[in-house]
Amino acid sequence: MKFQNTLSFARELDAQDALAPYRNEFYFPKVKGSEVIYFTGNSLGLQPKRTQAYVDEIMKDWRELAVEGHFYADKPWWDYHERLAEPLAKVVGAKPAEISVMNTLTVNLHLLMVSFYRPTKKRYKILCEEKAFPSDQYMFQSQIKFHKLDISDTLIEIKKREGENFWRTEDVLAKINEVGDELALVLIGGVNYYNGQVFDMKTITRAAKKAGAFVGWDLAHAVGNIELQLHDWDVDFAAWCSYKYMNSGPGNASGIYIHERYLNRRDIPRFEGWWGTKKETRFLMQPQFDPMETADAWQISCAPVLAIAPFLASLEMFEEVGMQALIKKRNLIVSYLEFVLEEIDKEVDSSFEIITPEDRGTQLSVFLHGEGRPLFDYLMENGVITDWREPNVIRLAPAPFYCSYEDMYRFGQILKKGILKK
Ligand SMILES: *Cc1c(COP(=O)(O)O)cnc(C)c1O
């Protein structure tokens, strides 16, 4: 398709977009009376209009049934979270039994490390990407300290090459082979939050398992964004938050995946609580832990139903649309955004450098050479919600659920004005 940087062409793409009606399923903030161009679905997804009803339902049941809501609500609370397993399994390419929804992301990664990071004298090293998301870095450091190991000896970071902005799969594989039988765990962000790179999870997982390590993925920026086949890729475990591309609200519940080979295994250590016991006998309040046969065995506390309700609302939309349709639109809208950027670049005396490699999802990270923070401020003041990362990068993630091609065109025009105004 030959793109054009015109309003009419953008509108033509919108007219052909099967997902276009979903834009109206979301609330858009307004700036100066107009709906914003929202590029931060990679940070906090917009609120779906239907979410309110899911929350209201819980509030009503609580109001009218009180404690009886655990068993007699239309969607009883005691197993409310189980409703999420099936639709979520489709989003990440897993079996429903391999999925649970609980806690928040970093908490879950810690809990999964309890099970899957069990250093021995010989095999104790952890491999991650350099400059991992800060929370992940703190998690690694504190886990290593907890095991009384030395951080600089234990945590191995995969570097980008000098002068390059992305990681090469061959360098990841070389590092895995180099660390070899000292490698206990590979845990990487499946889609990097900074440059938007999609890691070759299938290949890296295979290599790490061959080296005898456990493999987990932090899927915060991957879930609802790219195609995932966690089970078929033989991934050991993964976790993700639900408030980015999954649109389930600030700080909301996290999802976990644990490969079915680890279910019903008494030899795997785990921090346990009453929501991980078999629900049939849970309320007999017996002293011995009788684990659920699914990933729910990792649940500790009773489920935060009010927080999970928006996640269920959002998953209903993923069910309706399916990842394939989202990915199809994603590819087109991101390519169109890239085209618009290149066209504007030709028109102004500035230079953008897209640092996101070809293996990408929804996000383009753009280096604004010669521009500074004032341009970012101009964008925000004019209704373009994006985010700024030092030294001079804006991240643009046009979520296919609710962003339009017209948004991309209008963004280009605002960007041009902001640069020419200097
Ligand atoms: C967003 C994000 C997190 C956030 O963790 P929380 O525990 O939900 O605050 C963690 N890791 C990565 C890679 C992220 O992108």
CATH value at residue 388? 3.90.1150.10
Q: Maximum distance among all alpha carbons in the chain?
A: 72
Residue the block writes with tokens 């960007």: 415
Domain boundary among 298, 321, 344: 321
Nearest CA to 409 out of 333, 304, 310, 303 is that of 333
CA of 169 to the centre of ligand 1 (A): 23
CB atoms within 10 A of CB 138: 12
Determine the residue of 113, 136, 192, 241 to mutate for testing ligand 1's pocket, defined as the one with the most ligand atoms within 8 A of the Cβ atom. Answer: 241
- Note the pLDDT of residue 373: 86
Q: Report which DSSP code applies to 14.
A: H
The range of the structural domain enclosing residue 155 comes to 52-321
Q: Where are the alpha helices (DSSP H) in 297-362?
A: 305-321, 323-347
- Note the pLDDT of residue 302: 94
Domain boundary among 304, 321, 338: 321
Q: Distance between CA atoms of 347 and 375, rounded to whole angstroms?
A: 16
The reply to whether 107 and 125 lie within a common domain is yes
The reply to whether 157 and 119 lie within a common domain is yes
The reply to whether 69 and 216 lie within a common domain is yes
The reply to whether 247 and 181 lie within a common domain is yes
Q: Is-contact 208 176, C-beta < 8 A? A: yes
User: pLDDT averaged over consecutive 10-residue blocks of the chain (422 residues)?
Assistant: 96 98 98 96 98 98 97 95 98 98 98 98 98 96 98 98 96 98 98 97 98 98 98 98 98 97 95 94 89 97 96 98 98 98 90 94 93 89 92 94 98 94 76
Q: Is residue 126 assigned to a domain?
A: yes
The reply to whether 257 and 293 lie within a common domain is yes
The reply to whether 317 and 328 lie within a common domain is no
Strand, coil or helix: what is 352?
A: strand
The reply to whether 257 and 371 lie within a common domain is no
CA of 42 to the centre of ligand 1 (A): 11
Nearest CA to 295 out of 162, 147, 146, 96 is that of 96
The reply to whether 147 and 20 lie within a common domain is no
Q: Is residue 42 assigned to a domain?
A: no
- Note the pLDDT of residue 299: 97
Q: Is residue 43 assigned to a domain?
A: no
Determine the residue of 40, 111, 135, 240 to mutate for testing ligand 1's pocket, defined as the one with the most ligand atoms within 8 A of the Cβ atom. Answer: 135
Atom of ligand 1 nearest to the CA of 218: 13
- Note the pLDDT of residue 381: 95
CA of 222 to the centre of ligand 1 (A): 11
The reply to whether 307 and 388 lie within a common domain is no
The reply to whether 158 and 206 lie within a common domain is yes
The reply to whether 208 and 268 lie within a common domain is yes
User: In sequence order, what E strands does 201-317 have?
Assistant: 214-218, 237-240, 254-258
- Note the pLDDT of residue 372: 82
CA of 135 to the centre of ligand 1 (A): 6
The reply to whether 278 and 345 lie within a common domain is no
Q: Distance between CA atoms of 263 and 296, rounded to whole angstroms?
A: 9
* CATH number, domain containing residue 174: 3.40.640.10
Q: Is residue 41 assigned to a domain?
A: no
Q: Is residue 44 assigned to a domain?
A: no
Q: Is residue 61 assigned to a domain?
A: yes
- Note the pLDDT of residue 213: 98
Q: Is residue 87 assigned to a domain?
A: yes
Domain boundary among 321, 350, 370: 321
Atom of ligand 1 nearest to the CA of 136: 11
Atom of ligand 1 nearest to the CA of 251: 8
CA of 188 to the centre of ligand 1 (A): 12
The dihedrals phi and psi of 246, each to the nearest 5 degrees, come to -90, -5
Q: Is residue 136 assigned to a domain?
A: yes
Q: What is the tally of structural domains in the chain?
A: 2
Q: How many CA atoms lie within 13 A of 419 on its CB side?
A: 20
Residues with CB under 6 A from ligand 1: 104-106, 133, 135-136, 189, 193, 218, 220-221, 241
